[in-house]
């Protein structure tokens, strides 16, 4: 692992990974949907992701956080990854990016 890899570069790589994960019910990635609230990377390259789901009863509540964790852990630079689910604040369509709204015909 390169000593020159800094946490902001790793953060950008993680966002790139997050953009490859899609909500199975909506054809938009979870990052553009606004499901990712925060990506924290410390100096030891341990990652914590704070995310939400579209609803507490989301059918992928069990599998989606695991998929996020596994894909982030697959980056060589990542020492560990933890996903925390929160519903505070609850997800709303306002959290979606312009790109996601456009994709879903909401603009």
| Tens-digit pLDDT profile for residues 73-88 | 999 999 999 999 999 9
Give CATH superfamily name and number for 7-90: Fe-S cluster assembly (FSCA) (3.30.300.130)
Handedness of CA 91, 97, 103, 107 (dihedral sign): positive
Q: How far is CA 23 from CA 7, 32, 63, 65, in A?
A: 27, 10, 11, 11
Up-side HSE of residue 9: CA atoms within 13 Å toward CB? 6
pTM (predicted TM-score): 0.90
Q: Per-residue pLDDT tens for 42-74? A: 999 999 999 999 888 888 888 999 999 999 999
Q: Which residues contact 25 (CB under 8 A, 6 or more apart)?
A: 54, 59
Indicate the angle between helix axes 63-73 and 7-18, nearest 10 degrees. Answer: 140
């Amino acid at each position: 692992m390169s000593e020159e890899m800094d946490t902001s570069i790793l953060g950008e790589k993680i966002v790139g990974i997050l953009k490859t994960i899609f909500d199975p019910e909506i054809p938009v990635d979870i990052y553009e949907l606004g499901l990712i609230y925060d990506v924290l990377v410390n100096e030891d390259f341990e990652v914590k992701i704070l995310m939400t789901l579209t609803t507490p009863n989301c059918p992928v509540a069990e599998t989606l956080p695991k998929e996020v964790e596994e894909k982030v852990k697959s980056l060589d630079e990542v020492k560990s990854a933890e996903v925390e689910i929160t519903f505070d604040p609850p997800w709303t369509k306002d959290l979606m990016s312009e790109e996601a709204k456009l994709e879903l015909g909401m603009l």
